[in-house]
Amino acid sequence: MKKEDMNIVIVGHVDHGKSTLMGRLLADTDSLPEGKLAQVKETCRRNSKPFEYAFLLDALKDEQSQGITIDTARCFFKTEKRDYIILDAPGHIEFLKNMITGASRAQAALLMIDAKEGVQENSRRHAYMLSMLGIRQIAVVINKMDLVDYSQEVFEKVKKEYLAFLKQIQIEPKFVLPVSAFQGENIVKPSERMPWYDGMCILQVLDEFECEEEHDKQPFRMPVQDVYKFTRNGDDRRIVAGTIETGTIRAGQEVVFYPSGKKSHINKIESFHTEPILEGKPGMAIGFTMKEQIYIKRGEVMAVAGEPKPKVASRIAANVFWLGKRDFVPGKLYYLKIGGEKVKVEVERVKGIINSSNLSSTDERQSVERHEVAEVILRTDKPIAFDVVAESAGTSRFVIVDNYEIAGGGIIIEGLEDEESSIRSSTMLRNYKWETSEINHESRIEHYAQRPELIVLTGEKNTGKKDLAKALEKELLNSGRFVYYMGIGSYLYGVGADTKSGGDENHREQIRRFAEVANLMLDAGMILIVTATSLTESDRKIMRTVIQEDMHIFWVGDSVTTDIKADVQLKDSDFDYNSNVRLIKSLLKEKAVIFG
């Protein structure tokens, strides 16, 4: 029977002994490759350098010269009870990003404190991040007891100070133990030099942590990392690939993808160069073929029909730990990455800021500075699927990207209502009930040599947008494209006839139905050109919610008189039908809407 697996992260302030502890564990349990310990000792002797157990883990040249760990090292370690992957996360303040990466994969943590130096700023920061990442199984390891003569008084003083801090952030460690990693005291067996301590050694503590077996029992979640299509030798499979976060799955089960709400059934579980897989379990990197061919994209979250659903929203309440060089502020565009999804995001509001070292708080600022923790309301430009941290930590975690760099990380506390919530619910139900065709999305793209696209021309009345739309339709049709022009009037006096009485609710319903008609035409593989007068950002969001795709929006006129986020403005002052048709056509080529 296969033993349990567990990921454990070791965190703490720089030079508090994390790498030494890992090296000592490997050496004292004979887990090192044969001759490795002797080799490192000999290298130190030749270089007239004192041997340190941390050198057993140092994989990067810079690490030994600087004396700090700059990446998350991993080591594989076994006891009779289970197999471990132990992650050594950086302690230096500049490498907190790497620490978050390591801790996000862990089920339990060892928090290292230097008995002589005591609790440091990063000791508090790291504990706060573990709390934010939802890691609740924690042991506090007070290291370097040899430097304080194995004093019980020193141990109790450091323990009292740190436990008081941890209590404020709702962390209750399962164990607090004194060790000397360098001397090997209380690592693999109880120490004779600390007779006043009658608790467990490190090895025993590790085995006392509980494996999160409940991951198997939680609702199924798999963020879609990619969709692969095979074309050679008559192989027409489309494989949905990802790593299972929680739950289990077998062939034949009905699955639903979020936020789209589209459904299918598992045909077969696929894996490269392995025996057939009957059941997918947490941690497996795996692929699936579907019985019903549906169009889904990277970033959706796969769930099993009938099980609790993930949340879907474009407004979220979250706790964020900010690491960016520039402040985290409302009004600026960032990117949020969660699972396989990457979306544009803005700070709607900063609800409160907490100093992670001393837990002082303020709600008077709307800018989050480096190394601060904040409770924020975030708004994404399209809906994302997630779980809240109280229900499933893994699918609640995200990172924020600023200027191509990871600048922060956080967890989702709550999904919030927005203006499109009711429309989103009806759209997801529509997708779940959708009758799929035998002709899939890719077949239409190949047949028409184009991707479906919605082109919206808006602006004030009498700006030439209708004539431009018709000229564009004609040009695309003459070049062999599957294209159609639809003015808002063509819709209003037919499908939307009962909504013409006015009012905000009727207007929203007009736009929703208009977008539903557009969605049908896009599903057929068409390039659809529409015109409407003075659309707003609210109108754009409704259309985006219904069709679940981006669109090209052109404002026609010298002045943009609404709040809509148009991609391009076509001004009256230099308006020329032919040049504008060429401009739009070139943008469609650039976006790979038309090709071939």
Residue type at position 403: N
DSSP H helices in 310-398: none
The Cα 135–Cα 104 span in angstroms is 9
8 A C-beta contact, residue 236 and residue 164: no
The Cα 455–Cα 552 span in angstroms is 5
Strand order in the sheet with 137-143: 73-78, 82-88, 4-12, 108-114, 137-143, 175-178
Rg value, the chain, Cα: 29
DSSP H helices in 329-440: 421-433
The Cα 328–Cα 480 span in angstroms is 48
Give the DSSP letter string of 127-160.
HHHHHHTT--EEEEEEE-GGGGTT-HHHHHHHHH
Active site residue 357: no
CB atoms within 10 A of CB 44: 15
Cα 255 to chain centroid distance, Å, stands at: 21
| DSSP state at residue 180 | B
8 A C-beta contact, residue 177 and residue 202: yes
| Rounded to 5°, angle at Cα 519 from 542 and 383 | 45
Strand 397-402 relative to strand 285-290, pairing: unpaired
**Cβ-Cβ contacts under 8 Å for 349 (sequence gap 6 or more):** 330, 366, 376, 377
CB atoms within 10 A of CB 279: 11
- Nearest residue to 458 via CA among 570, 543, 576, 332: 570
- Nearest residue to 217 via CA among 173, 281, 172: 281
Q: What SS3 state is found at 385?
A: strand
- Active-site annotation holder among 271, 357, 421, 534: 534
8 A C-beta contact, residue 6 and residue 78: no
The Cα 480–Cα 49 span in angstroms is 74
Q: What SS3 state is found at 444?
A: helix
Residue type at position 266: I
Give me the active site residues, please: 534
